[in-house]
Homo-oligomer: A and B are copies of this chain.
């Protein structure tokens, strides 16, 4: 066949592979009214077309479901029980709903747009029942038996929880509660080699919750203005949370893991609020490296329930005060003696981090307390070295920032480092229950508080003058 014949032939309308689905062209259901029912129908179609996987190389390859840019309401929860399913869109569509909901209606009338966009799922699942978190999920992955469900991928679309609800603090505050019982992606059973990339998740009480993951990748997502952003639950290993923009609500976790080993949390830009930027419970031999964390409260990084042998290095931690008026009434309830970083566990490494706190002394709790930067509350054998801790007292008034100036003010607050005076802090506190720790060059003699007979210490040298 000549190449011109080939070219002619190719200009015929393409026969799209039967393993490629587009929610807007699939003949069952209406994706604009309920994309959940459409995707469930597609999954049933995929499974009905799969022959038995056999020993002679014959697989069940799965499929890709495409969600073009558009608004798609999801009433029926999507249930995924098939491996190798990729659901993808063409736009993460993030915009700040928090700023919008705290903007007066008369200003909104002039706004270009009010909602997130891209390939956008409007989560409208029924109210949460006694089934708990899973019932409120837009996407629910679950499969029993062997092998673990593998290689499900979510990419490049938006899951929008739309509204938060009144939790008792009053209707005016409903959109600031970070509560609505909705979850973006809920993985309830053991899984292998999943990927969640390029997504935009917003105004969900829980963004992504994954149980029992092996080799999970959560990369390059925008998961913010969610009650909790990323949660690894159950027990798992060898996963990566990298290059995300993340920021949870004042009562939730930006990044949470429990009973995992071998996680790599790398190069994320985690912004406020977030009761914690990162919270590990019983996590071991994992890494938190090269991240930038910004928080408005103590307890930015918490290692709880005997976390062991984790590495925290090359991170930038910044804690300052909430500059935005609508949110200044909220915090995570912790005081400044809790520790900006708090470690319960043994043999962890905290090396080469920059840790910064800037706060007007009148906001310190308890009053006149000396804030604790790294608080080792239990365990032994932790190695804390070469951390540079910078604490300054704000002298300017930062509260009552009008909504419209929010962005500029936040940036301005970051930039206004002149006229700051040093703030006295305890850079490292090793509590009496903890021993055989090593603290090097992370504060001088006065700044590090611990039993120097039972722990090893070398203070950061100080200038003679």
Contact present for B86 and A91 (CB under 8 Å): yes
A58 at the interface (CB under 8 A from B): yes
Given contacts A53-B115, A349-B354, A458-B461, contact A19 B70 (CB under 8 A): yes
A396 at the interface (CB under 8 A from B): no
Can you sample 11 A-B contacts with CB below 8 Å? A14-B14, A17-B24, A92-B193, A94-B150, A95-B192, A146-B404, A193-B200, A282-B415, A289-B290, A290-B314, A440-B441
- A457 CA / B465 CA spacing, docked (Å): 13
Contact present for A110 and B145 (CB under 8 Å): yes
Contact present for A62 and B93 (CB under 8 Å): yes
Contact of A84 among B93, B153, B263, B385 (CB under 8 A): B93
Contact present for B147 and A100 (CB under 8 Å): yes
Contact of A115 among B17, B58, B310, B452 (CB under 8 A): B58
Given contacts A27-B10, A68-B20, A69-B84, contact A290 B287 (CB under 8 A): yes
A386 at the interface (CB under 8 A from B): yes
- A235 CA / B410 CA spacing, docked (Å): 11
- Interface size of A as a range: 35 or more
| A57, chain B: closest CB distance, angstroms | 6
A233 at the interface (CB under 8 A from B): no
Residue of B nearest to A460 (CB): B438
Residue of B nearest to A353 (CB): B311
| A372, chain B: closest CB distance, angstroms | 19
Task: Select the stretch in A165-173, A179-187, A266-274, A331-339 that faces chain B.
Answer: A266-274
- Which residue of A235, A269, A408 has the most chain B CB atoms within 10 A of its CB atom? A269
**Which residues of the other chain, B, contact A464 by a CB distance below 8 angstroms?**
452-454
A455 at the interface (CB under 8 A from B): yes
A462 at the interface (CB under 8 A from B): yes
Contact present for B388 and A386 (CB under 8 Å): no
Contact of A193 among B28, B55, B245, B286 (CB under 8 A): B245
Given contacts A57-B122, A86-B91, A93-B62, contact A237 B414 (CB under 8 A): yes
Task: Select the stretch in A44-52, A125-133, A134-142, A361-369 that faces chain B.
Answer: A44-52
A206 at the interface (CB under 8 A from B): no
A227 at the interface (CB under 8 A from B): no
Contact present for B383 and A96 (CB under 8 Å): no
Residue of B nearest to A202 (CB): B193
- The number of times this chain is found in the oligomer is 3
Interface residues of A in 239-271 (CB under 8 A from B): 239-240, 242-243, 245, 259-264, 266-267, 269, 271
A217 at the interface (CB under 8 A from B): yes
Contact present for A461 and B441 (CB under 8 Å): no
Contact present for B61 and A114 (CB under 8 Å): no
- A234 CA / B249 CA spacing, docked (Å): 29
Residues 67-102 of chain A, each 1 if its beta carbon lies under 8 Å from chain B, else 0:
011110100000000011010101111111001100
Contact present for B3 and A45 (CB under 8 Å): yes
Contact of A463 among B24, B94, B150, B456 (CB under 8 A): B456
**Which residues of the other chain, B, contact A417 by a CB distance below 8 angstroms?**
284, 306, 308-309, 346-347
**Which residues of the other chain, B, contact A461 by a CB distance below 8 angstroms?**
438, 440, 456-458
**Which residues of the other chain, B, contact A148 by a CB distance below 8 angstroms?**
407
Contact present for B215 and A222 (CB under 8 Å): yes
Contact of A316 among B26, B224, B287, B353 (CB under 8 A): B287
Residue of B nearest to A464 (CB): B453
| A301, chain B: closest CB distance, angstroms | 15
Residue of B nearest to A64 (CB): B90
Interface residues of A in 362-394 (CB under 8 A from B): 381, 383, 385-386, 388, 390
